[in-house]
Amino acid sequence: MSKLLALLLLLIVAGCASGRGSAEVRRSLGNASATDAFERTRRVLALHRFEIEHEENTPQLIMMQSRWLRREPFADELAVGIADAENRVTMTGRFRIQTEQGPLYAIDLLIERRVVISGQEGWIDAPPTRAALAHADSVSKQLQRDLQVGTRRFE
């Protein structure tokens, strides 16, 4: 069995064994106005060095997506032969309810991950390692706290 195939099998088995067979981490963050969702997502992503690439704002759906952000692999990624890694974050909000102050959206966060395996070329999707999952959880929990705290703003 080739070294690459063995490494890919290891990544897949590790991801499936932990229930994380996807290269994506999805989190539901609660409800927010469009103004809060955009402002607070923009702030949290900037703290983590993400740049916004695309935004949408319709009555039924709001969305903000970052550019892919290249980062140094975490120690546990290096240990399984990952030479390079990058993430992209997408915040989506689906219309939930109309309040007297304005619409509220159910906010979800998607953090995508892709990697380059040592000795190989090209990006591949891979399940997150423990450190990559902890990083994704850190970003999502910070945004969730920001959305839950403070005064709701509607515009």
pLDDT in tens, 52-80: 999 999 999 999 999 999 999 999 999 99
All structural domains of the chain with their residue ranges: 3-148
pLDDT of residue 150: 57
If one compares 13 and 96, the residue with the highest pLDDT of the two is 96
CATH domain 3-148 topology: TBP-like (3.30.2030)
pLDDT in tens, 35-47: 999 999 999 999 9
pLDDT of residue 17: 39
pLDDT of residue 71: 96
Q: H/E element holding 45?
A: helix 34-47
Sign, Cα dihedral of 25, 58, 95, 37 = positive
pLDDT in tens, 98-151: 999 899 999 999 999 999 999 999 999 999 999 999 999 999 999 999 999 855
pLDDT of 10 > 70? The answer is no
Residue 152 confidence class, pLDDT cut points 50, 70, 90: low
Cα three-residue angle 106-107-112, rounded to 5 degrees: 140
The Cα–Cα gap between 107 and 85 comes to: 26
The Cα–Cα gap between 27 and 129 comes to: 17
Looking at residue 21, what DSSP letter applies? -
DSSP-derived 3-state class of residue 139: helix
Q: Which string of DSSP letters, residue by residue, matches 13-33?
A: HHHHHTT--SSEEEEEEEEE-
Count of alpha carbons within 13 Å of 154, Cβ hemisphere only? 9
Listed in sequence order, the DSSP H helices in the chain are 3-17, 34-47, 75-79, 130-148
Cα three-residue angle 66-128-48, rounded to 5 degrees: 35
